[in-house]
């Protein structure tokens, strides 16, 4: 497809829903997803003369949207992290240093209940929305976008050890939220 065959007037109808679903699963926010899609269409319009036709229109738009998502997480990762959310689930001294605190040990999850996936996904989205923005950025880029650690660190301008700390904290908070809102229901 040559760039004169691009049809921007049909992008919303042809690709809007697909792009929206892609963005909302990675941001958990309707407003952010809509903004990112709008930015994607604007960037595509500006760059339509550079489209070489090596991929489909949809693939090209998704590539632009992926870049917008990474840019979004890079921007929010520059905000100061709220240290008050660190609930320290491990002992930090003595023989049992690094072991779970008694009131923070993982619950025995009833995996049978996980079959109700749509409800579980809604609760997971809710739990993701509670994460601090930097933690959410790291978690989504690593687990939703499957971006390599070095690239995440470069994009978010953080060290690899900082990435692992934020991923660890995000997973702990997600685990706790899922236990409260799903597994202990």
For 42, the token pair is: 């604007």
Encode pLDDT of 78-124 as tens digits.
765 544 444 565 556 655 555 555 566 655 555 555 456 677 778 88
Contact between 175 and 106 under an 8 Å Cβ cutoff? The reply is yes
Residue 4 has pLDDT above 60, yes or no: no
User: Confidence class of residue 46 from pLDDT cuts 50, 70 and 90?
Assistant: very high
Among candidates 109, 168, 170, 107, which has minimal Cα distance to 137?
170
Give the per-residue pLDDT at 107. 59
Alpha-carbon gap, residue 55 to 52, rounded angstroms:
8
Contacts (Cβ under 8 Å, ≥6 apart) of 66: 145
User: Confidence class of residue 68 from pLDDT cuts 50, 70 and 90?
Assistant: very high
Asked which of 28-42, 56-70, 82-96 is least confident by mean pLDDT, the reply is 82-96
How does the average pLDDT of the chain come out, rounded? 80
Give the per-residue pLDDT at 122. 83
CATH architecture type of domain 3-77: Orthogonal Bundle (1.10)
Name the residue with higher pLDDT: 97 or 141.
Answer: 141
Give the per-residue pLDDT at 43. 93
Give the per-residue pLDDT at 119. 79
CATH architecture type of domain 83-183: Orthogonal Bundle (1.10)
Give the per-residue pLDDT at 84. 45
Cβ neighbours around 125 below 10 Å, total: 14
* SS3 state at 35: helix
Give the per-residue pLDDT at 7. 85
Alpha-carbon gap, residue 79 to 137, rounded angstroms:
11
Contact between 82 and 151 under an 8 Å Cβ cutoff? The reply is no
Beta bridge partners of 100: 90
Listed by start position, the domains of the chain span: 3-77, 83-183
Asked which of 1-15, 43-57, 140-154 is least confident by mean pLDDT, the reply is 1-15
Give the per-residue pLDDT at 88. 60
Residue 185 has pLDDT above 80, yes or no: no
Residue 3 has pLDDT above 80, yes or no: no
């Amino acid at each position: 497809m040559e760039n004169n065959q691009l049809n921007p007037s049909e992008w919303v109808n042809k690709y809007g829903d697909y792009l929206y679903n892609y963005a909302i699963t990675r941001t958990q926010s309707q407003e952010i997803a809509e903004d990112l899609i709008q930015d994607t269409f604007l960037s595509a319009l500006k760059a339509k003369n550079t489209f070489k036709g090596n991929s489909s229109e949809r693939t090209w738009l998704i590539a632009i949207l992926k870049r917008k998502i990474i840019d979004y997480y890079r921007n929010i990762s520059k905000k100061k992290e709220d240290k008050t959310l660190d609930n320290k689930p491990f002992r930090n001294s003595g023989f049992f240093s690094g072991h779970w605190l008694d009131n923070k040990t993982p619950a025995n999850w009833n995996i049978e209940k996980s079959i109700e996936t749509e409800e579980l996904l809604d609760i997971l989205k809710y739990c993701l929305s509670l994460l601090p923005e930097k933690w959410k950025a790291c978690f989504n880029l690593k687990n939703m976008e499957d971006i390599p650690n070095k690239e995440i660190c470069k994009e978010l301008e953080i060290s690899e050890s900082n990435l692992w700390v934020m991923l660890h904290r995000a997973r702990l908070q997600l685990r706790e939220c899922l236990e409260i809102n799903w597994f202990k229901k």
